[in-house]
Amino acid sequence: MTFTSSRVTPWAERRARPAKGKSGRELAHESAEKHVLGTAAYIDDLPELAGTLHAVAGKSTIACGKIRKLDLAPVWASPGVVDVLTLADIPGEKDIGPVYKGDLIFADGRVDFHGQALFAVVAESFEQAKRAALAAVVEYDEEDAILSVEHALQQNSFVNPAHTMQKGDAAAALAKAPVRLSGSLYVRGQEQFYLEGQISYAIPGEDGSMKVHCSTQHPSEVQKLVAEVLDVPINHINVEVRRMGGGFGGKETQAAQWACIASVFATRLNRPVKMRLDRQDDMVLTGKRHDFLNRYELGITEEGKILGADIELAGFCGYTADLSDAIVDRAMFHVDNAYNLHDTRVIGHRCRTNTVSNTAFRGFGGPQGMIFAECMLDDIARKVGKDPLDVRKLNYYQDGECTHYGQPIEHFILPELIETLEKDCDYRVRREAIKTFNAQNPFKKRGLALTPIRFGISFTLQFLNQAGALVHVYTDGSVHLNHGGTEMGQGLYTKVAQVVANEFDIDIDMVMVSATTTDKVPNTSATAASSGSDLNGKAAQNACQMIKTRLVDFAAKHFSVTTGDVRFENNHVVISKDGKEEWIAFGEFTDLAYRNRISLSAAGFYSTPKIHYDRKTATGRPFFYYAFGAACSEVEIDTLTGEYKVLRADVLHDVGTSLNPAIDIGQIEGGFIQGMGWLTTEELLWDAKGRLASASAATYKIPTSVDIPVHFSVRLFDRPNSEDTIYNSKAVGEPPLMHGISVWCALRDAVASVADYKVSPQLDTPATPERVLNAVMAMQALNSAEA
């Protein structure tokens, strides 16, 4: 047998107990200890190679217009400057649009948003480059800018044509409905505010090759775009991502620009180049979650059942398409949430504005659609005088019904999940207690809301639903794992390693996961759409099963038994023969297989089945399955100031059979708080000139520890996924963010109590204290008018 490290628990000890850390077990994040100790290495922590230079972008100071003069001589003359780059200096492709063309690396004669990159400068230090970038002399012929969704709609300014989804005859249903109502909601976007900003470190190699350390969710796209920009074959570029300090969608497409700039500099100078955006540049230069202006017209029964709906969504896309087509589509897919809208028309506009191109953010348009569904249901409840939860129950989908995009409703466990949460959180008792509290307190009002989520899982672009993994088993029984997913703190590396441990029935400490890199697993999809574990877990399982098949076939032949007599158990391979069992340590067995020339390496692959969507007919099955959940939140507002606090939140979430309950609960907790922040404190603002006014932590407020609900309970709804996912688990990345909608609904409920729940208050998001106070005053004005 080969050498066994002293760090490895002896095989005899491992045989006496089940393998540790397999799928389904609670296990700490693989980098948790390093995170706490500060030893987890991010790109800016890597030792800089000799000769490393630092790049900074020079930005525009207007939102729209032509560049009359761009004088870079003062930049060249600045201390420490080594090179300056403009669009004309790009050797290859100048447009790095991820789906549609239009995303130039630098402005080409005109400016389309305030802060757009005009050029880049590289210097001996970051500080020198930063100062040099400010030295450019730029003159413009300024033009009127389009800075709002409303203005874009008026001017017919769109990045792509509108898309319509339709079921039945919405106009006829509305005309026949005994009760009609209409409304609107403006939903603001959200800054990703990842802890680690955008950063790339390009290191030139031999024969025109380039290694790029990049904080990106999509290494393969960065690899492809860097190759195109440098005008070299893709195999000349290797992109590596060990970990990101957060991503949330903001590093899906928008990491590429900085990697490309660093790589061009590195090629021109044959020196390593790092490009790191400081916080303010990061917020100005990169896209956010889309604002949405949503409008509806509903036809309902007198009891509150929806008969038909005409819905219009308009996304605030920025100056290019980026991923906006798919984002607005997903908002349209989720505008029904858990409810059958029956005869429905949904139209989605993609509004072009003179602002930075907005991009992916956790939920990818789904939250902006889903909150509108909850807004509509609350409005119906106020209209018919019922508890909002009862109106929600009245309008649930049923198994066998179809969505407005033609996907059948299957495995609809949401009613049971809601009933469980309603009972466990004492919803009815608390509802009555809140009514009593509000009647007795003239200045403090409480609100309660229990809201569901039904979130579709899959990339809606079919070909992206694929993944690869590479598994090596060594002769001491240790296993090396590499896959196409990226780690941004969500625990993907941990979960996929647990899958490998589970397949071989070995301890998790025998599995080592290495950095995601394009020279090991090629042509990968972004780690996005909540699909990381679904795709990469299945790909890793596929690789393990190929190796296991070889090992079992070898064992059967070597020991003269059938394949059914061979099993993996407790870090051993067990051979059953003539009524006896021979236990062989996994390391000893893999060494034996190697000596008999059995391959111990495999490249696994997985592609998601069943999914398809035809944009021409706006029908199909874009999602492999749905993840469900519900949250009940209680708030208290001060009607004199608009200030509020979240008193309690109870969450029950469906993750199928959990791959790691500890990590899943952590994701749900974080998602809830991030969703709550989006709808309460995080306010993106541009001034009249198109300048981002909320461009720092001083002017953009993310939630902190003091914003966490006083009582915060998160539980998992233990129900295996009916679809064939990895161990029948479900995705947990994006869906929990939408539990934050319950806080917004609870705030609306509290404000509605001021007018005795007779009217739904207009409460656009984020529901800052100012907006809450304005809504309260509107309710008080209604009371005065009635009096």
Just list the catalytic residues: 734
Q: How far apart are CA 238 and CA 731, in angstroms?
A: 29
Is the separation of the CB atoms in 632 and 425 below 8 Å? yes
The C-alpha atoms of residue 15 and residue 194 are separated, in whole angstroms, by: 43
Beta-carbon contacts of residue 486 (< 8 Å; ≥ 6 apart):
216, 217, 218, 219, 241, 244, 247, 492, 516, 527, 532
- The torsion angles phi and psi of 432, rounded to 5 degrees, stand at -65, -40
The values of phi and psi at residue 712, to 5°, are -135, 110
- List C-alpha distances in Å: 296 to 72, 173, 369, 627: 51, 14, 12, 26
Q: Are strands 612-614 and 601-607 parallel, antiparallel or unpaired?
A: unpaired
Coil vs helix vs strand at 682: coil
In DSSP terms, which residues pair with 606 in a beta bridge?
Answer: 467
Distance CA 673, CA 395 (A): 28
Query: Distance of CA 732 to CAs 135, 275, 453, 669, Å?
Result: 47, 32, 12, 11
640 in Cβ contact with 444 (< 8 Å)? no
CB 355 within 8 A of CB 113: yes
Which H or E run contains 445? strand 444-457
Given the structure tokens 């071989």, which residue do they identify?
A: 504
Closest CA to 735 of 249, 362, 216: 362
d(CA 585, CA 534): 31
Secondary structure E strands in 88-194:
110-111, 117-123, 137-142, 158-167, 179-187
- Separation between Cα atoms, residue 190 and residue 771, nearest integer Å: 17
Yes or no: say if 369 and 453 are a contact pair by the CB < 8 Å rule.
no
Strand 306-318 to 343-352 pairing: parallel
User: Cβ atoms within 10 A of the Cβ of 565, count?
Assistant: 17
CB 496 within 8 A of CB 540: yes
Q: Is 33 exposed, middle or buried (0-12, 13-18, 19+ CB in 10 A)?
A: exposed
Task: Please state whether beta strands 479-483 and 343-352 pair in parallel, antiparallel, or not at all (unpaired).
Answer: unpaired
Do β-strands 625-638 and 601-607 pair in parallel, antiparallel, or remain unpaired? unpaired
What's the CA gap between 503 and 555, in Å, rounded? Answer: 17
Q: What is the DSSP string of 216-230?
A: -S-HHHHHHHHHHHH
Structure tokens at 635: 């708030």
Cβ-count burial of 627 within 10 angstroms (0-12 exposed, 13-18 middle, 19+ buried)? Answer: buried
Kindly state the tokens that stand for 749: 């409920």
Rounded CA separation 352/343 (Å):
30
Gap between the Cα atoms of 372 and 760, Å rounded: 13
Distances (CA, A) of 349 to 158, 293, 316, 324, 326: 7, 10, 9, 10, 12
Which residue, among 465, 246, 280, 256, has the nearest Cα to 361 in the 3D structure? 246
